[in-house]
Amino acid sequence: MTRINQHQSPNNDNAKSKSTNDDKELTLKHMTFNFSLERISQEQKNDPEILRIRQQLLQKEFDKKNYVIENDVLYKIIQLPRAHTKFKIVFIPLTMQEEVISCYHDHPTAAHFGVNRTWLKVRTVCYWSNMKKSIHDYIRSCEKCAKFNIRRTAPPGHLHPIEYPQGPLELISMDFWGPTPQYSTNGNKYVLIITDYYTKYVIACPLPNNTATSTAKSFVEQFVFKFGIPRRLVTDQGVHFNNELMQNLTMLLGTNHIQTSAYHPQSNGLVERFNATFHPQLSKLYNAELNDWDDYLAPVIYAYNTGEHSTTGYSPFQLMFGRYPILPINHTPATFKFNRPSDYWMKLIKCMNVYRQVASKKILVHQQQSKQRFDKNREDPQYEINDLVFYKVPGHRPKLEERFSGPYTIINKQHPSYTIQNNHSLTSKRVHVSDLKLVYQRHI
């Protein structure tokens, strides 16, 4: 689009010779626009704001330094920043504003740049009231920009910590580590990691696969039969956890199975943090063939459980069993001698009460500090049922593929988790608010 104040039109005259059938087949890269002064003059006569300004100019209520009428076209007189001269640019009527923005944003020569760059171009060739807001609203509703643009800010959604338990073994989380590059000499390729939220105590089960059957069997044999039934179980939505067998098992046990949003590790941050700690320690021990890693699994877990945890100030072992672990080099004689089992029980209760009071305070402080850090400079949008949204495409994508897919319709809201439905296939999935982006409607 050339400067309209110089009475030049950006429309492509050659396009007029094309047939009607050709026009139907035009793609975006062949877009043409008619911004002739004759058309602008005609559209201005139907615009209430422009008619009011023209009337006030005729009645000399407006300073002619700001507006001028030439050849029945209203112009705005402007002076750009750092410019020494004034010049006139055409006043675009409301009916043509979307078309002008489309020319400077959607056209291949505009390349779908952002609000500021588009506005800086448009303001030098034409004018209308609240131009920057109109451009902002238009680009915000651009589907291509919504799907392909990179987020420059932190993903939306505040941290919503899981309600902490009152004591050990009430709330546990499960996740898989693996697969390893090859099977170990013991035939294992995965580790099922079970973590107690309160004590941070970890149980690690090496497994040859991560099927639903192996998962359920290990959960029952390695946790339930040794420590009892947990009240709550937190997992992700992987098929090894989200299946009919696990649903029936947790229902039979009376355990509330909480499934976190897909591709949102913060929802089960306890396990994710342990995995980040556990992997490097295990990597330092196994052999060059990478096939004896499970021989070192138990010692690494032992070292973790007997070391002081930064959040609680106690070792997981200490909070779980109410006493200090006896380490290989620890030959200190017992501090207390008990004549009856009940004496030990009373002493254990007193120690556990002290441990829990201190640990609970530290856990609460740590949780609040983590939430403050996470929420800083982060929006927390809340969507409603029937809202249209784009969904972030998970995993690795080729460079030219869209980053968001959709639109989808929200059919269930449990902020920060939402259930979205594909408007074509009608399939649904549960996702986190950080992976959503609202579809804005275009109003100009």
We report the CATH number of the domain holding residue 32 as 1.10.340.70
Contact 164, 364 (CB under 8 A): yes
- Please indicate, yes or no, whether residues 113 and 248 belong to a single structural domain of this protein: no
What is the domain count for the chain? 3
- Please indicate, yes or no, whether residues 263 and 314 belong to a single structural domain of this protein: yes
Range of the domain at 128: 4-140
pLDDT of the residue at 51: 93
Give the count of beta carbons closer than 10 Å to the beta carbon of residue 65: 8
Q: What is the DSSP letter of 306?
A: T
* Angle CA 91–95–99, to nearest 5: 85
pLDDT of the residue at 23: 36
pLDDT of the residue at 338: 56
- Please indicate, yes or no, whether residues 362 and 399 belong to a single structural domain of this protein: no
- Final residue of a structural domain among 323, 343, 375: 375
- Please indicate, yes or no, whether residues 333 and 416 belong to a single structural domain of this protein: no
Do the domain assignments include residue 166?
no
Strands 388-392 and 404-414: antiparallel
Do the domain assignments include residue 34?
yes
- Please indicate, yes or no, whether residues 337 and 402 belong to a single structural domain of this protein: no
Do the domain assignments include residue 155?
no
Total residue count of the chain as it appears in this document: 444
Give the span between the Cα atoms of 411 and 364, in whole angstroms: 34
* Angle CA 279–284–288, to nearest 5: 110
- Please indicate, yes or no, whether residues 205 and 259 belong to a single structural domain of this protein: yes
- Please indicate, yes or no, whether residues 367 and 394 belong to a single structural domain of this protein: no
- Please tell me the number of Cα atoms within 13 Å of 343 on its side-chain side: 5
Do the domain assignments include residue 176?
yes
- Please indicate, yes or no, whether residues 89 and 134 belong to a single structural domain of this protein: yes
- Final residue of a structural domain among 123, 140, 157: 140
- Provide the residue-wise pLDDT of the chain in tens; the chain has 444 residues: 333 333 333 444 443 333 334 333 333 334 467 888 999 999 999 999 999 988 888 877 666 678 888 999 999 998 877 777 888 999 999 999 999 999 999 888 888 898 999 999 999 899 999 999 999 999 989 988 888 887 777 777 777 667 778 888 999 999 998 888 888 889 999 999 999 988 889 999 999 999 999 999 999 999 999 999 999 999 988 899 989 999 999 999 999 998 886 655 555 556 666 766 666 767 766 655 567 788 888 888 888 888 887 777 888 898 888 887 777 666 555 555 556 666 655 665 666 665 566 666 666 666 677 677 766 778 888 899 999 999 988 777 776 788 888 899 999 988 888 999 998 888 888 888 888 989 988 766
Do the domain assignments include residue 36?
yes
- Please indicate, yes or no, whether residues 359 and 222 belong to a single structural domain of this protein: yes
Find the CATH number of the domain harbouring 392.
Answer: 2.30.30.140
- Please indicate, yes or no, whether residues 234 and 355 belong to a single structural domain of this protein: yes
The radius of gyration of the chain from alpha carbons, rounded to an integer in Å, stands at: 33
- Please indicate, yes or no, whether residues 356 and 322 belong to a single structural domain of this protein: yes
- Final residue of a structural domain among 117, 140, 163: 140
Find the CATH number of the domain harbouring 281.
Answer: 3.30.420.10
Contact 77, 66 (CB under 8 A): yes
Give me the phi and psi of 18, to 5 degrees please. -75, 150
Give the span between the Cα atoms of 90 and 382, in whole angstroms: 41
Do the domain assignments include residue 97?
yes
pLDDT of the residue at 62: 63
Give the count of beta carbons closer than 10 Å to the beta carbon of residue 400: 6
Cite the DSSP H helix spans in 220-332: 225-227, 244-253, 269-283, 297-305, 316-321
Q: Give buried/exposed letters for 193-208 (b at 16+ CB in 10 A, else e).
A: bbbbbbbbbbbbbbbe
Q: Angle 115-122/131-140 helices, nearest 10 degrees? A: 140
Do the domain assignments include residue 11?
yes
Give pTM, 2 decimals: 0.57
- Please indicate, yes or no, whether residues 57 and 177 belong to a single structural domain of this protein: no
Do the domain assignments include residue 133?
yes
pLDDT of the residue at 216: 95
pLDDT of the residue at 360: 65
